[in-house]
Every structure is written in C-alpha cells, then in structure tokens.
Amino acid sequence: MNALEYVPVPAFEDNYIWLVSDGHDAVAVDPGEAAPVRAYLAKRGWRLSAILLTHHHQDHVGGVADLLNGLGEGAKLPVYGPAGESIAHLTRRLKQGDRVTIASPALEFSVLDVPGHTSGHIAYFQAADPAGTPHVFCGDTLFACGCGRLFEGTPAQMLDSLDSLSALPGDTHVHCAHEYTLSNIRFALACEPDNAALQAWRDKASALRERGVPTLPTTIAHEQAVNPFLRSDVAAIQATLSAQLHEAVPDRLAAFTLMREWKNRFR
Ligand code: ZN
Ligand code: FE
C-alpha cells in the first residue's frame, strides 16, 4: 500500500483544511473555502476524490459548492457529513458507529458522535494508516490544548465527547481544524502552572509558530498530558479553579464547566 500524506492547508485566519492523499487522489476534510484547496491540489497534481465534513459551520462547509462546481460535467464526488445537521450537498449522512470506505486514496473511517460545539458534530477515526498509525479528524471538538466552544451543546455532552476521543489509542494523530494552540496553552498554564509537560510544549509550540509551522497534528497521549479539558479530574486543576473563581468544584463535570466558562472570557 502507498504511504498516505496528511496535509493541513491553511484557510481564513486560523483554519486548517486537512487533505489526505496517496500521491494521486486526495480527500478534503472541512473545506471552508475552495481556493486554497484547489491551489494546493494543483501544486501537487492531486485529484479530489471525496469531501468529509464534521459540522455545519460555514468555516468548515463554505467551500463545498465551489469545489463541486469546479469538477466539470457529470463528475460526482461523495460528500460525507453528520446525519444530525442540515448541510447542503451531502451524499451520505453519518452517525455514531457508521463506517466510511473510500477507494482512492484507500481509507476507512469509523464515525464518532461528538456533540457539544454543535449538536450533530461528528469525528472520523481511521484505526490504522498503511504505517499502522491511527488518525482522527475531530473538527472543532478537541483542539491542541483546548476544546471547542459550546454553541449548541451542554458541558456534559462536550465532556462525554472529549472522553470518547480520549479513549482512542494514545498514538492517534489528532487533526484539529484550527491553529489555536498558543492561545490555548496560555489558558492551560493559568489552569495548571506547574505542569512540566505543558511548559515544555509552550516552548516547542512557540518555536514552531515563530517559523510559521503548524503545531498539528497532536496526539491523544500528548493531549492527556497537557490539555486541561482532558484533565478536569486533576486535583491541581480543580484547586486552581476553586481559588481563581471562588466556586466549589465537587466533581470533574463542575471543573470542566467552570473551565470552559473561564476560557470564554480569558484574555
Ligand atoms: Zn465550528
Ligand atoms: Fe471552526
């Protein structure tokens, strides 16, 4: 089997549109705009063979119509997306447990329901690439050192969704849809200033961004070590939340809820 390449194509201010390619064909995940995808495909000589969507927000679906229009007469592209959201151009509507099989590039995904950011948000999990590495495309659910805002879901839903992502193999490459890492790390350090892995990640991520290099993908194991939203059960974090926000923190859901609210107003 051919090796696969996973490429974050920058779009808008801070979005990544992930392309997965075998060197000939490519799938695009969450193409919020068409132009950068087209330009990248042309540069590499790749042909678009499918589109995967995680949720209905414009910065993730806005380029779909344009990409489909550019295909020429009669050409058809499968467009996968969440069953629970209203999105134009979907050819297949997916929910928890569904499987996606793409012929070229050869890809197989299982679908996870990960509500919270939006109510029908899904993630695509690939158990093993040709080299044996697992991958997940999680849209705006899990970010490097952060998590998505709760536009349509409850803290309990988002915590469940993050738990199901956190239960994936530790070496799973996590392909998030935004480059939010540095500002997320600033907040994470406010939650957990003494986390040595987090301090080291701040230095490494800052150096990457200074050179304009993406901080992604991250991995599940790394997020478990540094991401406060996957660490709401850690006593030091709960103590910080309680001291900073003058609130009781009886359990991890309370900690997660307070943390998410604090992050919304954190500067
Ligand atoms: Zn979104
Ligand atoms: Fe987004």
Domains of the chain, start order: 5-265 (3.60.15.10)
Among the listed residues 57, 121, 135, 175, the single catalytic one is 57
128 CB contacts (<8 Å, ≥6 apart)? 134
How many A from CA of 78 to the centre of ligand 2?
22
Per-residue pLDDT tens digits for 104-118: 999 999 999 999 999
What does the pLDDT read at residue 74? 64
How many A from CA of 194 to the centre of ligand 2?
30
CB-proximal residues (5 Å) to ion ligand 2: 59, 140
What does the pLDDT read at residue 70? 80
The answer to whether 246 is a known catalytic residue is: no
Among the listed residues 117, 121, 135, 175, the single catalytic one is 117
- DSSP letter at 12 equals T
Q: Are strands 122-126 and 135-139 parallel, antiparallel or unpaired?
A: antiparallel
What does the pLDDT read at residue 249? 97
The answer to whether 233 is a known catalytic residue is: no
What does the pLDDT read at residue 204? 98
What does the pLDDT read at residue 258? 98
Cα-only R_g, the chain? 18
What does the pLDDT read at residue 178? 98
Among the listed residues 22, 25, 30, 59, the single catalytic one is 59
The answer to whether 55 is a known catalytic residue is: yes
**Bridge partners (DSSP) listed for residue 20:** 6, 27
The answer to whether 98 is a known catalytic residue is: no
Question: Smallest Cα–Cα separation from 180: which of 146, 204, 203?
Answer: 146
Question: Smallest Cα–Cα separation from 29: which of 230, 173, 189?
Answer: 173
CA pair distance 56, 139, nearest whole angstrom: 10
pLDDT-flagged residues of the chain (< 70) = 1, 73-74
How many A from CA of 266 to the centre of ligand 2?
19
The answer to whether 175 is a known catalytic residue is: no
How many A from CA of 57 to the centre of ligand 2?
7
The answer to whether 251 is a known catalytic residue is: no
What does the pLDDT read at residue 267? 87
How many A from CA of 148 to the centre of ligand 2?
8
- The pair of structure tokens assigned to 90 is 């979907």
Ligand minimally distant from the alpha carbon of residue 177 = 2
CB-proximal residues (5 Å) to ion ligand 1: 57, 140
Whether pTM exceeds 0.75: yes
The answer to whether 56 is a known catalytic residue is: no
How many A from CA of 183 to the centre of ligand 1?
17
CA pair distance 250, 85, nearest whole angstrom: 34
